[in-house]
């Protein structure tokens, strides 16, 4: 009864959802008719974004693209740098921290050991201009979370939708989690259904693809990806156990902590979970509490949390603790996505 009551209460927000959808539709219309300027870079750009607020797996998919193109093109990543305390255009350096450039750009920069240039700028057109004029031109720029950033026209627009909350079953904010109406999918050159269960059958994929293609332009391809988890990695090599622990306490600051928890329960004995808000800024008090807890239960975090927690532990001289992060990688159900993307980029004579 409580669930029915709460569900009914959500519909009180329906008029506000209609208003929000109207505003975003007008904004998109102004861009579509040319009333607002749109910039397309001279460098080939691929946008990785979504219609939904947070948590569709953009960062792991950007990392997948970096690996896919690494031996073929010079790559840069341009992000807004959500959660940073700075403004304007910045380049990631080895001394950068999450407060300067944001946790996800920092994760990407560190993961590829600085071999991929990473930039942040809240206005992507300005960011692209800066990259073009100031830095040796990359051959390919990946735009992080730029699907609604209409001031920039990417050469290829990839839209992600989470298997657990597919956009065609969702509603515009605040009734649902969509940033704009479902017809925004028409801007996608390809759609990726993320976080799929590995058991998803071909028949189930076809059903989902058919429903998605009701909102896209004809012949827009739909792909399916899943997450594969690696072995936990110790924050500090000298403090790892001689054998991999099987019991953990989870700490996370991500958009969908429940999915992490469900995945962890399948592989480990999870005794608790400190789930903070997305892009959470960890405090000294929290770190001290978890260091004490790690003496009994090793702490397991995401990579996004690792890039913020590790320097905080170092700063507080608390590196002698049992903290681990859990790496993930994106895998597609077949080779269609790689073939599609490599073919699309290869068509461009200037790449």
What does the block give as tokens for 256?
């969908």
309 burial level (CB within 10 Å; 0-12, 13-18, 19+): buried
What are φ and ψ of residue 172, in 5° steps? -70, 150
Q: Give the pLDDT band of residue 239 (cuts 50, 70, 90).
A: low
Strand order in the sheet with 233-234: 233-234, 323-325, 299-301, 247-252, 269-275
Mean of pLDDT values over 220-225 = 98
With a cut of 90, say whether residue 317 has pLDDT above it: no
- Tell me, what's the pLDDT at 134? 87
Residue 117: which H helix or E strand, with range? strand 117-120
Q: Determine the distance from the C-alpha atom of residue 212 to the mean position of all C-alpha atoms in its chain, rounded to a whole number.
A: 20
> 156-162 and 90-91 as β-strands: parallel, antiparallel, unpaired?
unpaired
Check: CB of residue 192 under 8 Å from CB of residue 216.
no
- Tell me, what's the pLDDT at 4? 36
- Tell me, what's the pLDDT at 54? 78
- Tell me, what's the pLDDT at 342? 95
- Tell me, what's the pLDDT at 307? 94
Which residue, chain included where needed, has tokens 């515009």? 172
Residue 107: which H helix or E strand, with range? helix 103-111
Could you tell me what percent of the chain has a pLDDT over 90?
78
- Tell me, what's the pLDDT at 156? 97
- Tell me, what's the pLDDT at 103? 93
Residues whose CB is less than 8 angstroms from the CB of residue 17 and which lie 6 or more positions away in sequence, other chains included: 171, 172, 173, 174, 175, 176
Q: Please tell me the least confidently modeled range out of 1-10, 37-46, 330-339.
A: 1-10
Q: Determine the distance from the C-alpha atom of residue 11 to the mean position of all C-alpha atoms in its chain, rounded to a whole number.
A: 29
- Calculate the average pLDDT of the chain: 91
With a cut of 60, say whether residue 1 has pLDDT above it: no
- Tell me, what's the pLDDT at 242? 66
With a cut of 80, say whether residue 110 has pLDDT above it: yes
Residue 299 pairs in a beta bridge with 249, 323
- Tell me, what's the pLDDT at 76? 95
Q: Give the pLDDT band of residue 137 (cuts 50, 70, 90).
A: confident
Q: Which of these, 274, 293, 276, 282, lies nearest to 315 by C-alpha position?
A: 282
Mean of pLDDT values over 292-300 = 94
Please tell me the distance from the alpha carbon of residue 308 to that of residue 170, in angstroms, as a whole number: 32
Q: 220: number of CA atoms within 13 Å, CB side?
A: 22
Check: CB of residue 273 under 8 Å from CB of residue 250.
yes
- Tell me, what's the pLDDT at 203? 97
- Tell me, what's the pLDDT at 113? 87
- Tell me, what's the pLDDT at 333? 97
Please tell me the distance from the alpha carbon of residue 307 to that of residue 41, in angstroms, as a whole number: 31
Check residues 242 and 5 and name the one with the higher pLDDT: 242
DSSP symbols for 4-23: HHHHHHHGGGHHHHHHHHHH
Q: Please tell me the least confidently modeled range out of 132-141, 227-236, 240-249, 299-308.
A: 240-249
SS (H, E, C) 171-235: CECCCCCECCCHHHHHHCCEEEEECCCCCCCHHHHHHHHHHHCCCCCCCCCEEEEEEEECCCEEC
Three-class SS of residue 140? strand
Fold of 44-228+331-346: Rossmann fold (3.40.50)
With a cut of 70, say whether residue 241 has pLDDT above it: no
Check residues 55 and 238 and name the one with the higher pLDDT: 55
Domain with CATH 3.40.50.300 in the chain: 44-228+331-346
Please tell me the distance from the alpha carbon of residue 103 to that of residue 303, in angstroms, as a whole number: 9
- Tell me, what's the pLDDT at 217? 97
């Amino acid at each position: 009864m409580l669930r029915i009551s709460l569900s009914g209460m959500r519909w009180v927000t329906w008029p506000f959802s209609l208003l929000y959808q109207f505003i975003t539709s007008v904004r998109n219309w102004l861009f579509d008719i040319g009333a607002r300027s749109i910039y397309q870079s001279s460098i080939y750009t691929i946008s990785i974004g979504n219609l939904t607020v947070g948590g569709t797996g953009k960062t792991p998919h950007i990392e997948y693209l970096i690996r896919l193109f690494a031996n073929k093109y010079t790559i840069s990543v341009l992000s807004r740098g959500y959660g940073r305390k700075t403004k304007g255009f910045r380049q990631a350096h080895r001394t950068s921290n999450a407060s300067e450039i944001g946790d996800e750009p920092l994760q990407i920069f560190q993961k590829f050991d600085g071999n991929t240039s990473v930039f942040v700028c809240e206005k992507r057109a300005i960011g692209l201009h800066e990259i073009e004029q100031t830095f040796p031109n990359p051959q390919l720029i990946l735009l992080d979370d730029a699907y609604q950033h209409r001031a920039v026209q990417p050469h290829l627009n990839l839209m992600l939708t989470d298997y657990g909350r597919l956009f065609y079953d969702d509603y515009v904010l605040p009734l649902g989690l969509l940033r704009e109406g479902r017809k925004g999918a028409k801007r996608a050159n390809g759609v990726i259904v993320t976080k799929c269960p590995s058991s998803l059958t071909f028949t189930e994929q076809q059903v989902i693809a058919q429903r998605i293609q009701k909102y896209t332009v004809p012949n827009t391809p739909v792909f399916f990806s899943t997450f594969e988890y690696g072995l936990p990695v110790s924050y500090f090599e000298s403090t790892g156990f001689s054998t991999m622990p099987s019991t953990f306490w989870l700490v996370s600051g991500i958009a969908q902590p429940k999915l992490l928890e469900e995945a962890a329960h399948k592989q480990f004995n999870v005794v608790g979970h400190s789930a903070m808000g997305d892009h959470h800024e960890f405090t000294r008090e929290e770190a001290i509490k978890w260091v004490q807890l790690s003496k009994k239960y090793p702490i397991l975090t995401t990579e996004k949390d690792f890039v913020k927690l590790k320097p905080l532990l170092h700063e507080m001289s608390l590196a002698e603790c049992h903290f681990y992060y859990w790496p993930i990688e994106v895998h597609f159900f077949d080779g269609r996505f790689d073939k599609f993307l490599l073919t699309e980029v290869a068509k461009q004579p200037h790449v």
